[in-house]
Chains A and B, each alone.
Chain A
Amino acid sequence: MSEHIVPKKTYYAVFGALMVLTALTVFVARFDLPGILNITVALTVAVIKATLVVLYFMHVRYSSRLTQVIVAAGIFWLVIMLVLTASDYVTRNLLAPVARISM
């Protein structure tokens, strides 16, 4: 809301961080990590980058509390979508008793 002026230095620093994280993603992609680590690492890096963009490039860090609440609500609703959808996918194979009866 307010006319907060962010020093250029901050933008360069964030940009640098984003570049480093991109390089990290590319670097890690060269190795096949065990288990679900491949996707865990990739998503963690992506989330950190998205957070940096939202906080600094989109000025949410310097915005009013109301704006921050709105942003948080958006993320929270995404979490609702993922968690409740996962409640299906994670438990879908737990119907073991049926398999036992059929045998």
Chain B
Amino acid sequence: MPYSAEISRSNPTCFVFLVDQSASMSDSIGGETPNSKAAVVSDAINRLLTELSVKCAKEEGVRDYFHVAVVGYGHNNVGSAYGGALAGRDLVPLSQIAENPARVEQRSKKVPDGAGGLVETTVTFPVWMDPVSNGGTPMRQAIEYAHHLVDKWLSEHPACFPPIVLNLTDGEANDGDPVVPAAAIQSLASADGPVLLFNLHVSDAGGSPVTFPDADAGLPDAYARTLFGMSSALPSHMRAYAAQEGFTVSEGTRGFVYNADITSVVQFLDIGTRASDLR
């Protein structure tokens, strides 16, 4: 059965985040507190890296169940988007990521005080990458870059849980049709199944947020539909978790999110150990 390989230290897998850093990402996205798309995306990446680190934390520290690359594309070039000690590196073992954020911010946050009121507190927020927005959108090139990383990884780890490539973008590629390299990267496979390509679309085109749809009917524009079309279907156990979390799923459900939270993808990953889970 595909997508059932163990994720462990002796059988790690890899995660490649592709981050759109083009000029259009500086546009603000609507909402209560308007934020640039670039800021939304870098926050998402920083949260994903935190979630992965927490998920793989054990007594002795964070285990290298994953090797993770954060690849930025914009300003007509493609490359590592890590800041700080990891700058310039592609796939990095998770334990090193956990130890080396570029900085740790104190963010203030209003939380319920349990008695009906709100109280302001601060929480720490590790930051690995900062928002950048500049130049064009070489998405095609970025997917090809990921292709190289993943291909090399697979030749060294042929039986791993299939690598996951997560592309975060506002959807407007300007170096050709991204559908072709997207199909190519999904034709790569480990013994456990083809590579998974997921997309997070941040957009100011409006419309309601969409999480893990199974059809492109409700999507607001052509970019969203293209990104939906090039996203992999969720493997069955991820679908089951999505259903548990209250999402409506079918066999056609894809790893695509429109203006919504993608961190739940991390929750859907089974680290190590379980034969399978029951509902």
A and B bind: no
